[in-house]
């Protein structure tokens, strides 16, 4: 028998969606159906989602995720937190957010500069790498290690929520562009996520019709403010 997803793990608002989940949503094909959409949140393949019990999906999953089909994220409401919450932290689940990049190591500064100068790296991936670079020493309670950043970003930092990850990375990316770290001429502008308006009517889940996921997140370029509270949005 297939194991049912834990509904307590489902996000109840855009702020609770993880960075990894949001990245997967933006990567969905234009004509993805409800199975692809739900697979992002329940951590199952579309085929596994298709074979979940009907009543479980209809009564316990879809009502929780209704926000993702009927609302547009209000990224401006996400304020810079004092801590970042990550899973499996050795020294407490809440890591303090630095108020300045002056105390980071030479390796961290070098890697942050490399991230900013990588024109081919999508902005959401830059955010993920920035979290990993800045928070790795505090997470492991030890020294910075460039070789560990990719794995740390994908396995741990991708689980940070949007309400924390976006304003934190806004702050650090803005701070980095104004610091001595070498950056490209265009680095003062950060692609922001623009949300199309949700469909006028909700998807036809109840009659079994395929749902064309029409709400997209195209990337645009817009200058970021000096702090997250002044930022116009998210990437």
Cβ of 140: how many Cβ atoms within 10 Å? 15
**pLDDT above 70 for 214:** no
Name the residue with higher pLDDT: 3 or 79. 79
Decide if 179 contacts 112 (C-beta within 8 A). no
* Mean pLDDT calculated for residue range 40-68: 90
* Mean pLDDT calculated for residue range 75-98: 84
The residue whose two tokens read 């596994």 is 48
The residue whose two tokens read 């801590």 is 83
Give the pLDDT score at 2. Answer: 65
Per-residue pLDDT tens over the stretch 26-42: 888 877 788 888 999 99
> In sequence order, what are the beta bridge partners of 161?
18
Give the pLDDT score at 91. Answer: 56
Give the pLDDT score at 1. Answer: 58
Encoded tokens for 6 = 């834990």
Name the residue with higher pLDDT: 198 or 127. 127
The whole-chain average pLDDT of the chain stands at: 75
What radius of gyration, in Å, describes the C-alpha atoms of the chain?
19
**pLDDT above 80 for 225:** no
**pLDDT above 50 for 106:** yes
Residue closest to 222 by CA, chosen among 77, 73, 75, 71? 75
Where residue 147 falls among pLDDT bands split at 50, 70, 90? very high
CA atoms within 13 A on the CB side of 134: 29
Question: If DSSP states are collapsed to H, E and C, what string results for the chain?
Answer: CCCCCCHHHCCCCHHHCEHHHHHHHHCCCCCCCHHHHHHHHHCCCHHHHHCCCHHHHHHHHCCCCHHHHHCCCCHHHCCCCCEEECCCCCCCCEEECCCCCCCCCHHHHHHHHHHHHCCCCCHHHHHHHHHHHHHHHHHHCCCCCHHHHHHHHHHCHHHCEHHHHHHHHHHHHHHHHCCCCCCCHHHHEEEEECCCCCCCCCCCCCCCCCCCCCCCCCEEEEECCCCHHHCCCCC
Residue closest to 192 by CA, chosen among 148, 234, 145? 234
Give the pLDDT score at 227. Answer: 38
Give the pLDDT score at 92. Answer: 53
Show me where the domains of the chain are located.
1-235
Per-residue pLDDT tens over the stretch 4-22: 778 878 999 999 999 999 9
Give the pLDDT score at 68. Answer: 84
Residue closest to 17 by CA, chosen among 56, 67, 77? 67
Where residue 75 falls among pLDDT bands split at 50, 70, 90? confident
* Mean pLDDT calculated for residue range 84-95: 78
Give the pLDDT score at 69. Answer: 77
Give the pLDDT score at 101. Answer: 84
Name the residue with higher pLDDT: 203 or 123. 123
* Mean pLDDT calculated for residue range 181-208: 36
């Amino acid at each position: 028998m297939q194991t049912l997803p834990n509904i307590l793990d489902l996000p109840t608002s855009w702020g609770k969606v993880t960075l990894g989940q949001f990245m997967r949503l933006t990567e969905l094909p234009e004509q993805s159906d409800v199975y692809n959409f739900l697979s992002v949140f329940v951590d199952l393949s579309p085929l596994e989602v298709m074979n979940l019990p009907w009543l479980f999906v209809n009564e316990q999953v879809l009502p929780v995720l209704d926000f993702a089909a009927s609302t547009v994220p209000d990224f401006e409401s996400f304020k810079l937190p004092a801590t970042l919450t990550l899973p499996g932290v050795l020294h407490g689940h809440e890591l303090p957010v630095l108020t300045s990049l002056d105390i980071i190591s030479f390796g961290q500064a070098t890697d942050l500069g490399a991230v900013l100068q990588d024109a081919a790296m999508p902005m959401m991936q830059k955010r993920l790498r920035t979290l990993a670079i800045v928070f790795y020493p505090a997470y492991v309670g030890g020294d910075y290690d460039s070789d560990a950043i990719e794995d740390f970003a994908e396995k741990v930092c991708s689980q940070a929520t949007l309400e924390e990850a976006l304003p934190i990375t806004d702050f650090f990316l803005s701070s980095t562009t104004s610091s001595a770290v070498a950056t490209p001429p265009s680095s003062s502008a950060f692609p922001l996520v623009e949300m199309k308006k949700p469909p006028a009517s909700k998807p036809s889940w109840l009659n079994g019709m395929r749902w064309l996921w029409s709400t997209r997140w195209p990337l645009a370029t817009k200058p970021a403010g000096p702090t997250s509270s002044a930022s116009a949005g998210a990437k």
